[in-house]
Amino acid sequence: FLSRHRKRYTRFGVYRLVERCAARVPTLAARSITPHVIRHTSACHLLRAGVDLNTISAWLGHVSLETTNIYAEIDLEIKAKAMALCDAAASGPDRPWKENKGVMAFLNAI
């Protein structure tokens, strides 16, 4: 990317450009928006759109898939979908924890 002076942007120049543009948006003005925040947000949106972690990992340039797994772990919507797939509502003799109200309250609060 070239600046208005036809010189390549440095990483500091990109940082300042993102800060300046975010400050112009009223809903973002009070927040600290950096290139890393944009990168992180893009990865979360890709994950929510159904793009698999291997593709996101390659796109972000992560060496290890473990680094990319952080995005899957922090997304509460994905956690809720995974919990919905579990049939925890059915009672049975193999679910002694079902009778423990403390455990059930904790699981429902997740």
Q: Where are the domains of the chain?
A: 34-108
Place of tokens 């797994």: 69
Is 80 strand, coil or helix?
helix
- State the pLDDT at residue 97: 59
Mean pLDDT to the nearest integer, 50-61: 89
**Inter-residue contact 107 to 79 (CB < 8 Å):** no
Average pLDDT over residues 38-52: 88
| Confidence at 91, pLDDT banded by 50, 70, 90 | low
Mean pLDDT, residues 87-93 taken together:
58
Confidence of residue 96 (pLDDT cuts 50, 70, 90): low
User: Residue 36 and residue 43: Cα distance in Å, rounded?
Assistant: 11
Question: 62-82 pLDDT, tens per residue?
Answer: 888 888 887 777 777 777 777
* Predicted TM-score (pTM) of this structure: 0.58
Q: Give Cα 31 to chain centroid, integer Å.
A: 17
Q: Kindly state the average pLDDT of the residues 21-50.
A: 90
- Count of CB atoms situated within 10 Å of the CB of 81: 10
Q: Distance between CA 54 and CA 58 in Å, rounded?
A: 6
Task: Report the alpha-carbon distance of residue 98 to residue 96 in Å, rounded.
Answer: 5
For residue 50, the model assigns a pLDDT of: 86
Q: Are 57 and 39 in contact (CB under 8 A)?
A: no
User: How far apart (Å, rounded) are the C-alpha atoms in residues 20 and 32?
Assistant: 11
